[in-house]
Structure 1
Amino acid sequence: MEFFTVREVKKVFTNGTVEEEILKGINLSLKKSEITALVGSSGSGKSTLLTIAAGLQPASDGQILFEGQELNTLNQEQIRKIRASKFGFVFQFAHLVPFLTVEEQLLLMLDVSETKFSKQEQKREVHQILDLVGMGHRKQAYPSSLSGGEKQRVAIARAIIHKPQVLFADEPTASLDSKRSIEVMSLIRDLTKTLNITTLMVTHDEDMLSFADSIVQMSDGLILQH
Structure 2
Amino acid sequence: MTLFTIDEVRKSFTNGEVKEEILKGINLSLREGEITALVGASGSGKSTLLTISAGLQPTSDGQVIFEGKNMTTMSSEQVRKVRASKFGFVFQFAHLVPFLTVEEQLMLMLDVSESRLKKHEQKEEVNRILKLVGMDHRKNSYPNLLSGGEKQRVAIARAIIHKPKVLFADEPTASLDSKRSKDVMLLIRELTKTLNITTLMVTHDEEMLSYADQIIKMSDGLILQNVD
- Show CA shifts across 1:33-53 (max 9, x none): 000000000000000000000
Distance 1:177 1:189 in 2: 18
- 1:34-113 correspondence to structure 2 within 5 Å: 34-113=34-113
Q: What residue in structure 1 maps to residue 12 of structure 2? A: 12
State the alpha-carbon separation in 1 of the partners of residues 15 and 175 from structure 2: 31
TM-score with structure 2 setting the length = 0.98
Structure 1 residue 16, shift from structure 2 partner: 1.9
CA contact (8 A) 1:2 1:68 kept: no
Report the equivalent of 1:146: 146
The letter for the 2-side match of 1:123 is K
CA distance in structure 2 between the partners assigned to 1:65 and 1:169 by the alignment:
19
> In structure 2, the residue corresponding to 1:217 is in which secondary structure?
strand
**One-letter amino acid of the structure 2 residue matched with residue 204 of structure 1:** H
Residue 17 of structure 1: how far off its partner (Å): 1.9
Structure 1: which 5+ residue stretches go unaligned? none
Q: Does 1:167 align with 2:170?
A: no
Aligned to 1:219: 219
Hey, what's the Cα distance between the residues in 1 that align with 2:153 and 2:77?
29
Secondary structure in structure 2 of the residue aligned to 1:14: strand
Preserved CA contact (<8 Å) 1:39 1:203: yes
Which of structure 1's runs of 4+ aligned residues deviate more than 2 A? none
Q: Distance in 2 between matches of 1:4 and 1:202?
A: 16
Q: Report the Cα distance in structure 1 between the residues aligned to 2:181 and 2:68, rounded to whole angstroms.
A: 35
TM, length-normalised to structure 1: 0.99
Equivalent position SS for 2:19: strand
Structure 2 residue 9 is the aligned partner of structure 1 residue 26: no
What secondary structure, in the 3-state scheme, does the structure 2 residue paired with 1:108 have? Answer: helix
Alpha-carbon separation, structure 1, partners of 2:2 and 2:190 = 23
* Counterpart for residue 197 of structure 2: 197
Is the aligned partner of 1:136 residue 2:156? no
**2:2·2:32 contact (CA, 8 Å) conserved in 1?**
no
CA distance in 2, matches of 1:49, 1:15: 20
Cα distance in 2 between the residues matched to 1:4 and 1:100? 34
Is this contact kept in 2: 1:185–1:211, CA < 8 A?
Answer: yes
Deviation, 1:14, is 1.5
Give SS of 1:154's match: helix
Please say if residues 35 and 189 of structure 1, whose CA atoms lie closer than 8 Å, have aligned partners that are also in contact. yes
**What amino acid sits opposite 2:71 in the alignment?**
L
- Deviation of 1:2 after TM superposition, in Å, equals 4.2
Per-residue deviation, 1:184? 0.1
Instruction: Trace 1:180-195 onto structure 2 (pairs within 5 A).
Output: 180-195=180-195
Q: CA deviation at 1:3?
A: 1.7
Secondary structure of the structure 2 residue equivalent to 1:3? strand
